[in-house]
Chains A and B, each alone.
Chain A
Amino acid sequence: MSNKLNHSMSLATPDATDISKKQKIALAIGITGLFILALALLNVNFPNKGLFLTIALGLISVGTIFYARDAYLTKLEGIKNDGQWFKSISSRGLWGWTLGIVLTIFYIVLYFYPKYLGLGQGVNGTNTGLIALFDPLSQFLSGNNASEWFVYGALYTVAILVFGYKFILKYRHNKYQQLRTVSVMFFQTAFAFVIPELMARLNSDSFSLPYNDLKNMWPLNYYAFDQWRVDQFINAQSIGLFFLILGVVTIFVISPILTYKYGKRWYCSWVCGCGGLAETAGDSFRHLSDKGVKAWKFERWMINSVLVFSVIMTTAVISTFLGYDSQKYWFTKNVFLISVGVFLTLLFAGVLYYKRQQINKSALKGAFGFYALTIAFLVFFAFFDLSQIKINASYFSFGLNNKTYNFDSALRTFYGFGIGSIFSGVIGTGFYPILGSRAWCRFGCPMAGILGIQQRLFSKFRITTNGGQCISCGNCSNSCEMGIDVRSYAQKGENIVRSSCVGCGICSAVCPRGVLKLENDSMEGRINSNEILLGNDVNLINLVNQNTK
């Protein structure tokens, strides 16, 4: 993949792919909306905040909708990728880099310096600036003033909604694309935004639930089992217990069943918010992911390391609060650690026993290493009181953070900072125009890691290739946001069974020869590899395919 810069400042080059007059007007409308937000950011104090917020979000939405309609509805139904590698914004040109830098800065401010967004900067800790602009909406939903996370959530939801609309128009010939986009739009709006805000209304002095996005499960939601959350759930009586148990059941029962039946796509491209943003606002950048074998190797180490880290970190956090407070919970520290150890061992042994033929040597080595590491940590946690081990963060943060942490909260803090903020936010989304839309999902998401392992080993999902019809054109690989070299399978007539595939279905949509189909079918013969493709001499096909099996 080339990283050559495209220096054109125009949104489109060559100029033949110029945008139309209507699209320019639409852009201007959208930018006006953004401009209002920018003014708020610069502390312009709007008189009627509710009105101006409505105008700003309204203009952004209208602009995008208007743009999308002109871009897609003026043409016949079909694949609409013309010029995506010419446009500066979608080919790592100057506009692409500019957008990437702006988004990155936004994320850094959001995570680490929310005061610049106006958080608590007014009299008596009221908000100013951008966050104040969102106060009326927050008041309307939850009854409280906005926080930086409320602003982020609102903008995030608007982005998924308007770009989701654009995506639906772009793929208006493709029912699969439309349905899954409606699905992510729904889950983002209802589950991630409106319901948790409304539930906050139930909170009182005697009763309080943590902010709970029902679809956001551990380990994506790495703080799911932090003590304060668990405590709040337990204190909130039956409702709280219900949510706590639901969370655990989702992880250990519902998710494995759905992944078995449909592959990880049920979550990654139908439900998840990170995936939702990648599929909608990130759609213009999907082709930028690196398809090389090196990137794939890096991906396998990276994502599994994050997964192991998240397991170790969560175990450390839970075992510590069980350790000094065990009469409050059902578990003691040691029962917990032993259960985790036994569970992981059974899982590991089961996989080895049933799936040994499907795991290659290097994967086996990696898996064994990761397993041993996890068990070593469990033993370590069992014999030491983590709250007594003090760690001075300044050694790890170039002196930026001088606090001293207990071992467990050091792990937790480091995870939250490194993975939760930098990886998923700053790199994951800020770098859309550089790394493609799913860098986080591909390299960093522990949830994708777990679902991926299951998808590779215990799932009915696969992408079927259509006999000998592939012409090796490369449209599929080019469009794969997860950087899977789909063509390398399709041209061998081999089904695509890859842990990273999020089942977005775009490879299938763009294939000009109808070669790819996402399917749930029996596990038997799911992973095949044909040496000679269908269409050739039957004897030759048999001869060669037998020899290589």
Chain B
Amino acid sequence: MEHIVIIGNGISGVTAARYIRKLSDKKITIISAETNYFFSRTALMYVYMGHMKFEHTQPYENWFWEKNKINLKQGFVKHIDTASKTLQFSEGDTLAYDKLIIATGSKPNKFGWPGQDLDGVMGMYHKQDLENLEKYAPNNKVCKRTVIVGGGLIGIELAEMLNSRNIPVTFLVRESSFWNGVLPEGESAMLNRHIKNHHIDLRLGVNLKEITSDSNGKVKSVIVAETGEEISCDVVGLTAGVSPNIDFIKDSNIETGRGVKVNRYLETNIPDVYAIGDCAEQHEPIGQRRSIEAVWYTGRMMGETLAQTICGNRLEYKPGHWFNSAKFLDIEYQTYGWVFSRPRENEAHFHWKHEDDTKCITICYNTINNKFLGINTFGIRMRHEVFDTWLTEKRDVDYVIKHLVEANFDPEFYKHYEAEIFSAYQNNLQTI
């Protein structure tokens, strides 16, 4: 029986395993150095906040794996020998495979800052990071202040986590406005205010110079590059993005760049070795996507696709229309299609913001043919299916604005804003 070995029990590896099992009775082994069972990385924050316990982040009950004949192995893969098709573990043992799926995810970026490896300095990616945080920041008596470096999605989650335990947070963000490399100005500015309303000390346009240590090798303070200001703190969270977790692959024959290089079939340069999820890097970006897509959904979709290939139906990874979502403290965010921080050539943005400063939308469209290109929505839930259809049908922006109510996904009895948005859109047209 063919032995499929998957390194990594995250969403991409587990999805691949589940679908391979549905399609075949091949022998499947999933390896992880992190946890025994698959858990939802996106829910780590809720464990620290006390909304859930760690076991609640596990989407399948523990009997699931045995029942579906998916072997689980704990261990850290140190080396992949593609010639003999064996894995070597740092624990000393080895494992032979017929086909190998690399799904090792990401690791937090560290940019060689002085002091980045001190005690109390941590990323927020693995379960071990959570345990570390629990140790160094159990409450606001042990941890008087935290400095978070890097204003992205994980940074804001970390800020929210610490806020839930009343631990003061200073949030150092390199950009002039929160996440404005991705979000248009109006949205980013609204989030700046929302973050400050939560009593988070948001510092925009600043960089980390160094992290200083006390005599025990524990973090003492952070020094800001631009001002030289020293901010004393007990914990430093490094959340300046993530990059593929592939150091152990570098000495194998598998071609790597920033990630494991794959073609559209998610195949590496070595036959029978594949890579999916955060750690995979496309030779050529697909459409407007990045060549490394480090989001939950793409990991899942790659797993769904690769399972077909492994089970005899060789299939290209062809994701549909882009979508994503996040939550910034109390404000939910969803996006469908493409809205870039600044309109690209022949593009324009229509922006509407509610006066309460917690809801807004931005619609991007083509100025030549009026085609609807994408929407960002904050504080108003929208239907994925409707936007997916509209994007496929290449609807124009007038149509979308007029029919926006069909896409509304807010709970019943919520106030509707479509009329307001519609008239803002009309006024907007007149002023142009």
User: B-contacting residues of A (Cβ < 8 Å)?
Assistant: 1-2, 14-17, 76-79, 81-87, 173-176, 179, 287, 292-293, 464, 466-469, 471-475, 477-478, 487-488, 491, 505, 508-510, 512-514, 517-519, 531-541, 544
Contact = CB atoms under 8 A, between A and B. Distances in A.
B384 A467 contact: yes
B330 A79 contact: yes
A505 B411 contact: yes
B68 interface: no
B111 interface: no
Interface string B36-50: 000010110010011
Nearest to A75: B198
Contacts of B413: 175-176, 179
Nearest to B316: A537
24 contacts: A2-B53, A14-B138, A16-B138, A76-B198, A82-B51, A83-B49, A83-B50, A175-B412, A175-B413, A287-B52, A293-B61, A468-B300, A469-B325, A473-B40, A473-B42, A491-B59, A514-B334, A519-B412, A535-B301, A536-B318, A536-B319, A536-B320, A538-B320, A541-B320
A533 B385 CA distance: 10
B49 A82 contact: yes
A438 to B, nearest CB: 18
A142 B167 CA distance: 54
Contacts of B332: 512-514
Interface string B292-317: 00001100110011001000000111
A510 B316 CA distance: 36
A487 B141 CA distance: 36
Residue of B383, B384, B392, B410 most packed against chain A (CB within 10 A): B384
Interface string B360-384: 0000000000000000000001111
B411 A534 contact: no
Interface of B: 11, 22, 40, 42-43, 46, 49-53, 55-59, 61, 138-141, 164-167, 197-198, 296-297, 300-301, 304-305, 308, 315-321, 323, 325-327, 329-330, 332, 334, 381-385, 388, 392, 409-415
A536 B381 CA distance: 21
Contacts of A534: 320, 384-385, 388
Contacts of A474: 40, 43, 46, 52, 56-59
A467 B411 contact: no
Given A78-B329, A82-B50, A537 B320 contact: yes
B319 A535 contact: yes
A308 B332 CA distance: 45
B50 A2 contact: no
Given A514-B325, A540-B318, A466 B50 contact: no
A175 B415 contact: yes
B17 to A, nearest CB: 15
A235 to B, nearest CB: 44
B29 to A, nearest CB: 22
Nearest to B387: A467
Contacts of A488: 59
B411 A536 contact: no
Contacts of A505: 411-412
Contact of B304 (A293, A477, A512, A536): A536
Contacts of A487: 59
Contact of A1 (B55, B139, B305): B55
A513 B323 contact: no
Given A14-B138, A14-B139, A17-B50, 16 more contacts: A1-B55, A17-B165, A175-B412, A471-B40, A472-B40, A472-B59, A473-B42, A473-B43, A474-B46, A474-B58, A487-B59, A491-B59, A510-B51, A512-B327, A535-B320, A535-B384
A475 B43 contact: yes
Shortest 6 CB-CB contacts between residues of A and residues of B: A467-B384, A16-B139, A78-B330, A514-B381, A16-B165, A473-B43
B42 A471 contact: yes
Given A14-B165, A473-B43, A535 B411 contact: no
Contacts of B50: 17, 81-87
A77 B316 CA distance: 45
Given A467-B323, A467-B383, A512-B327, A81 B414 contact: no
A466 B315 contact: no
A299 to B, nearest CB: 16
Contact of B42 (A2, A472, A537): A472
Contacts of A176: 411-414
B152 to A, nearest CB: 16
B383 A475 contact: no
A469 B56 contact: no
Nearest to B38: A472
A181 B57 CA distance: 29
A76 B52 CA distance: 21
Contact of A473 (B57, B382, B410): B57
B321 to A, nearest CB: 7
A535 B334 contact: no
B52 A478 contact: yes
Nearest to B323: A535
A76 B412 CA distance: 22
Contacts of A468: 297, 300-301, 323, 384
Given A85-B53, A491-B59, A508-B411, A467 B319 contact: no
Nearest to B298: A535
Residue of A14, A472, A487, A510 most packed against chain B (CB within 10 A): A472
Contacts of B305: 536-537, 540
Given A471-B42, A473-B40, A517-B411, A16 B325 contact: no
B416 to A, nearest CB: 11
B165 A81 contact: no
Contacts of A541: 320
A469 B165 contact: no
Contacts of A78: 329-330
A289 to B, nearest CB: 12
A509 B411 contact: yes
Contacts of A512: 327, 332
A8 B320 CA distance: 50
A469 B384 contact: yes
A540 B304 contact: yes
A2 B56 CA distance: 9
B334 A469 contact: yes
Nearest to B47: A85
Contact of A2 (B55, B330, B381, B411): B55
B412 A16 contact: no
Contacts of A475: 43, 46, 51-52
A519 B167 CA distance: 39
Residue of B11, B56, B139, B326 most packed against chain A (CB within 10 A): B56
B61 A292 contact: yes
Contacts of B166: 16
B27 to A, nearest CB: 23
A64 B305 CA distance: 54
A466 B56 contact: no
Contacts of B46: 473-475
A510 B325 CA distance: 15
B216 to A, nearest CB: 23
Nearest to A180: B413
Contacts of A539: 318
Contacts of B321: 535
Contact of B296 (A471, A509, A531, A537): A471
Nearest to B304: A532
A538 B385 CA distance: 12
Contact of B164 (A83, A174, A519): A83
A508 B414 CA distance: 13
A180 to B, nearest CB: 9
A466 B325 CA distance: 11
A520 to B, nearest CB: 9
A471 B296 CA distance: 7
A464 B51 CA distance: 23
A174 B411 CA distance: 8
Contacts of B53: 2, 85
Nearest to B143: A16
